[in-house]
Structure 1
């Protein structure tokens, strides 16, 4: 299976360096990375060049900074990818050492993968960023339990790797899609025209994507105990009221192929015709 990780990025080079270190140490190195940059300054491009020299297979897409337009730049990355299977994530989430391998094993035709992340609290995030605690410590069962008890991690159980049969049973419980950890066949996300670029500003685009993938006929496959990410702490953001209103309006229209996605707006009539059949 040909896999590409598409990582949405916006500045934050110190955290992103930790994230790229996580991809350097993957147990399965048969993947490529695309950095989908929503208008960062030159530090992110330099980081990409540095990690290319370290051995990561990287390509880079940049768009001008004009507010939060993650959906647009990720769509460009999807459109230009040559991979069969895509893992969508963010540049503040460190992958566990089995992250890519787990996504490969979890992928099924007719399904998309809803992964999860462990949240680091401020104290542990500071130690990771200062390199006082190496990211390899996140591989340790004992360290995870200790940090969960000490208050350094939230939802640490997501990172524990039960036997595969137990993980399969755990995965039967429904779980909402999280934008930082999505696995999807490229042909499936192209079929619904990618993310809806009308969502500008934080939040909404992943929820919209999930209901459209389901309306297209796909099933969600939760990944608990597998394909884990470690989210580096930052103050929590909330979905805007505008995004909530847009979500409801779009659901009422019932179009799972958005006219505001990867295809150009000139194709809107053709897209709408597909929805009607």
Structure 2
């Protein structure tokens, strides 16, 4: 294969039913010159079996980066995945976020030297998450508002995320009050910039390690662009058993230091001090 234009890092942990849907969503992408790097935080055999199976079913290359399960160590496995990427440009998303067919094309079109891109996601309730099939993904009907409403989706302003196109999506990107932060489920940037700040801070467990990476990118001089109404992914529902107050508080303290001291580099990242 030619050199990929973009590497997609997908983080996962023991949720192969959702990961399979996500992998099919990348098979349906209109932009084809990419590789997928799966950042696997210690999944068991069913996930490993799924990835082996999918390698022969999809048209894009898959690199599986895995380490032993040692609790929630997403920052560690993401740093390993960053090093495994063969492209100069990296998009990060999660194994529970299905990408609409134009997702990669939007990231490719909007990428720019000196910037990272900040997207959002559209939350699906559990009953809809469960009924989506491979056929629904390949046909893209699961991204259609009418189809989702037929499965029980309620009306909401947020539904504009699914229907906004062209000028309307650009307008909503401009007026949204949400910060254009680095969001681990939908953000992309240059590998050289991520390496220049030493990747993720591996002291950080659940809660905000993606934001902290973005805050160091800002300190390094990188700006961000808002694409939450144009780069669309559907977030499949799941319980969050690893969310603890202790990990959130610890991470907030690390982020406060990053801000106060204007830190660009972490000593707890890809390269160890």
The match for 1:162 is 165
CA distance, structure 2, for counterparts of residue 18 and residue 148 of structure 1: 17
8 Å contact from structure 2 (residues 128, 151) kept in 1: no
For the pair 1:9 / 2:17, whether they are aligned, the reply is no
CA distance, structure 2, for counterparts of residue 152 and residue 20 of structure 1: 28
Deviations 1:136-166 (A, max 9, x none): 212424335x369842888332222421x44
Alpha-carbon offset, residue 179 of structure 1: 1.2
CA distance, structure 1, for counterparts of residue 28 and residue 135 of structure 2: 16
8 Å contact from structure 2 (residues 170, 229) kept in 1: no
The match for 1:246 is 254
TM-score, normalised to structure 1, is: 0.86
Name the Cα RMSD after superposition: 2.3
CA distance, structure 1, for counterparts of residue 153 and residue 52 of structure 2: 37
Counterpart of 2:144 (choices 140, 145, 169) is 140
Counterpart of 2:194 (choices 189, 206, 218) is 189
Deviations 1:17-71 (A, max 9, x none): 1111111111111100000111001222211111110133101110111111111
Change (3 A) 1:37 1:134: same
CA distance, structure 1, for counterparts of residue 165 and residue 173 of structure 2: 12
8 Å contact from structure 1 (residues 148, 154) kept in 2: no
**What is the 5 A alignment of 1:174-213?**
174-200=179-205, 202-213=206-217
Deviations 1:251-272 (A, max 9, x none): 223221111111122xxxxxxx
CA distance, structure 1, for counterparts of residue 114 and residue 181 of structure 2: 17
Deviates more, 1:134-143 or 1:28-37: 134-143
The match for 1:226 is 230
Secondary structure, counterpart of 1:87 in structure 2: strand
8 Å contact from structure 2 (residues 122, 233) kept in 1: yes
Change (3 A) 1:220 1:244: same
CA distance, structure 2, for counterparts of residue 152 and residue 40 of structure 1: 36
Structure 2 segments unaligned to the other structure (5+ residues):
none
Alpha-carbon offset, residue 132 of structure 1: 9.4
8 Å contact from structure 1 (residues 116, 158) kept in 2: no
Secondary structure, counterpart of 2:69 in structure 1: coil
- Work out the number of aligned pairs and report it: 260
CA distance, structure 2, for counterparts of residue 51 and residue 154 of structure 1: 36
